[in-house]
Amino acid sequence: MKKSALYTRTGDKGTTSLVDGTRVAKNSARIEAYGTVDELNSFIGVLIASDPLTADDRTLLTDIQARLFDIGSYLAAGNEEMTLRLTPRLDASLATLEQTIDALDAEVPALRCFVLPQGVASAAAAHLARAVARRAERRILDFSNEVDPAVLRYINRLSDYLFILSRHCNFIAGIGDIPWTAAIHNS
C-alpha cells in the first residue's frame, strides 16, 4: 500500500486549493474562517484529553468535533447541496447543546459575577475553546454575512456550552468559580 504524501509543495507560495480546485491566498477570509474552525476543533481535542470530564461530556465533545468538521467542509465548499445536508444535522446537534447547557446550568450555583478563565485543566481548556469559538464566529462573519444561519447559531451556542462546561468542571472538582475583581473600580 502506497503512503500518501504529507507535502505537495503546492502551497509554498502562500496559496491553497479549495474543494473545487480554485487556488486562493492562505490568508483569505474563507481560509481564515475554516482554519479557525479547525483550530477550535483541535482545542476541543485538548479539552477531551483533560480532566475532570464525564463519559457523557467526552461523547458530546466528540460529536461536536464531527459537527465542526461538517462546518469546515461547508465553509471550504459553500455549495447549496452541502447546506441542505448540513442544516438538519446542525439543528439536531443544537437542540442537544441547548438541553445540555440547561442541565449543566441547573447543577452549578447561579452566576453572580464575571469569572476568570481558569481552574482545573478541563475548565481552563473549555475556556480556551470558548474563546476560539467566539473568534471562529467573527471569522465566519468576516468571510460572508450569507453563511447558513444554522452555522452561526451552532457556533454561538457552542461557545455558551463551553462556558457552562468550564463552570461545571470546576464545580465537580470542588473549586467553584474564580471571581474576577475589577482593579480599575477598586482604586
pLDDT reported for residue 125: 98
Q: pLDDT tens, 83-117?
A: 677 888 899 999 999 999 999 999 999 999 999 99
What are the C-alpha distances in Å from 55 to residues 61, 107, 122, 129, 147? 10, 17, 13, 19, 33
Helix axes 149-172, 121-143, angle to 10 degrees: 170
Q: pLDDT tens, 161-176?
A: 999 999 999 999 999 8
Domain residue spans of the chain = 28-109+118-179
Concatenate the DSSP letters of all residues of 23-91 into one string. EEETTSHHHHHHHHHHHHHHHHHHHHTSSS--HHHHHHHHHHHHHHHHHHHHHHH--HHHHHHHHHHHH
Q: pLDDT tens, 103-156?
A: 999 999 999 999 999 999 999 999 999 999 999 999 999 988 788 899 999 999
Looking at 1.10.600.10, 2.70.98.60, 1.20.1200.10, 3.40.50.2000, the CATH number of the domain 28-109+118-179 comes to 1.20.1200.10
